[in-house]
Amino acid sequence: MHEQPAPRPHHTTTTERGSFALARCTCGWTGPARRSRDRARTDADDHLHTAEAV
């Protein structure tokens, strides 16, 4: 029997690129570019909640 690798925890960050902010996760997920930093953080929170539900 093969051992399954442990799932990687999700850790999100927000970065700025010009006048846009975007959220990223250690799992490879990237949110859409947003003009609102608050919306980018909300995207990151939504991703974490979705990832925990799976």
DSSP string, 5-33: PPPPPP-EEEEEETTEEEEEETTS-BPPP
Let me know if residue 4 belongs to a domain. Answer: no
What's the number of domains the chain is made of?
A: 1
Let me know if residue 41 belongs to a domain. Answer: yes
Q: Give residue 9's pLDDT.
A: 86
Let me know if residue 18 belongs to a domain. Answer: yes
What global pTM score does this model have?
Answer: 0.78
Let me know if residue 29 belongs to a domain. Answer: yes
Rounded CA-CA distance 46/28 in Å is: 15
- The domain in which residue 38 lies consists of 12-53
Let me know if residue 6 belongs to a domain. Answer: no
Distances (CA, A) of 4 to 19, 35, 36, 38: 41, 40, 39, 37
Structure confidence by residue, pLDDT tens digits, 1-54: 566 555 668 999 999 999 999 999 999 999 999 999 999 999 999 999 998 887
